[in-house]
Amino acid sequence: MDYGNVNWIVAIVSLLAGLGIGVIGYRMLATSSTQLHDLRRQVAERDRELGVLREGLDEHFTQVGMMVSNIQREMRTLEHRLTEDASTLESKPKNAPPLKAADQPALTGEESEQIPAPRDYADGSGGTLSEDFGLKPREEKSELPQPPRY
């Protein structure tokens, strides 16, 4: 082997080693750039989805607002009709008989004393709430034969 060719061999080996190191470095950087590209694509997709959701939410709130305004309008219409019907009911028709319960005065102090207060217990006359309801009288109990005592 000639020493002049050694320089060429070292140069070619160095060039091949540099190419190999360059390819490995490019692959590593390309992987990072690919991941970066994928992340940017995902961010763009998320932004698009968020925009669609915002538009849908805006539309939803617009519809809900219209429904609320419709309900308020219907409520005002109903309230107006109720006030008209109430004013109509205040005037008595010509052929209708007067109401009995409305014409009677409320109970005064003397009348309220005549009506007994409701009770939650029996008055002892043998009703279902009396204490001896369903029990046999004492006379019948004494006629029953008693067992002998020891």
Q: Name the residue among 139, 115, 119, 140 with its Cα closest to residue 129.
A: 119
Q: How confident is the model at residue 104 (pLDDT cuts 50, 70, 90)?
A: low
What pLDDT, in 10s, does the model give residues 55-92?
999 999 999 999 999 999 999 999 999 998 888 887 65
Mean pLDDT of 105-126: 62
Count CB atoms within 10 A of the CB of residue 122: 14
Give the SS3 label for residue 98.
coil
- Residue 141 identity: K
Chain-centroid distance, C-alpha 69: 22
Residue listed under structure tokens 């320089």? 7
Reported as a single tens digit per residue, the pLDDT across 11-33 is: 899 999 999 999 998 888 777 77
pLDDT tens-digit series, residues 30-59? 777 788 889 999 999 999 999 999 999 999
pLDDT reading at 102 higher than 80: no
86 token code pair: 């109430």
List all residues 6 or more positions away from 92 whose beta carbon is below 8 Å from its beta carbon. 98
Q: How far is CA 83 from CA 47, 70, 80, in A?
A: 53, 20, 5
